[in-house]
Amino acid sequence: MMLTAALTLAWGCSSDSDDAHGGASFTAAEQPAWTVDWTWHDEAPNWKNPAPTLHESRMYVVLKLDERYGGYSTDADRMAIFLDGECRGMGLRNVTADGSVYFPVIVAGDNEDLERLTEVRYYCASMRQLFVMPGFYGFTPDRTIGTDEDEYVVFGDGSPKYLLNEVNVLLTGNGPSGHRPADIVGAFVGDECRGVGIAGEPMQVWTLHGEEEQVHFRYYSAEKGGIYSFPETFVMDGAFRGDITLAF
């Protein structure tokens, strides 16, 4: 799929040629509202805080949602911290005056839990997705995490639907005279949007778990008032990292 010609891997290994094959088609259009469909089918979990007398120590955690979750977040969301598959603390949604979303969680533990890594689980009710993010802080009695400096739940991490690919789209050839703030790049599988970004900057492209998918790109130009669709496709499976060069 033209990987050797159009892809330069981010860690420095490059192909022998960086030729880009032109032939992008153009369609007049207003600025599109490209978005990734995050809806899934996970059932809402029935998490509960452990009984107060069940564990002897506590750790205090405040988790902030990545702002990209903001449009999806509702009061039905839940955040919990687990240890070896057991819920050790569950927090409810709090919204600050500036619209930031936080979940305070009191994590229960015992002496034998010292420094054992915990796992963050976030259920987004509007997406119907349960995000599971292992490798969080080890349990430490009386420790406070996320008050002096925000501790984020990063968008997309642990998604049961999508895997993350990271790309940087570079455009060459006889295209628009310059990028404008309204210009956007969209990644697609068929006609389904899998990522939105800006040319020349890192962007996230999401592919389904367990599948190699053919991803192609479109570019909206505010100057030209339309969308360029590029014919090249790239195989992505959640491990793709690199620069992609597309020619008009």
pLDDT of 67 over the 50 cut: yes
Q: In whole angstroms, what is the distance from residue 48 CA to residue 38 CA?
A: 26
How far, CA to CA in Å, does 169 sit from each of 184, 203, 211, 234? 11, 8, 22, 12
pLDDT per residue as tens digits for the range 94-105: 999 999 999 999
CA-only gyration radius of the chain, Å = 22
- Provide mean pLDDT across the span 197-221: 96
pLDDT per residue as tens digits for the range 38-47: 999 999 999 9
- Provide mean pLDDT across the span 199-225: 96
DSSP character at residue 14: B
pLDDT per residue as tens digits for the range 231-240: 999 999 999 9
Position 176 scores a pLDDT of 87
DSSP character at residue 160: S
DSSP 26-54: EEE-PPP---------PPPP---PPPTTT
pLDDT per residue as tens digits for the range 114-165: 999 999 999 999 999 999 999 999 999 999 999 999 999 999 999 999 999 9
pTM of model > 0.95: no
Q: In whole angstroms, what is the distance from residue 94 CA to residue 75 CA?
A: 8
In the chain, the domains with their CATH numbers are 3-37+161-247 (no CATH), 57-153 (2.60.40)
Q: In whole angstroms, what is the distance from residue 184 CA to residue 182 CA?
A: 6
Token output for 40: 């899934």
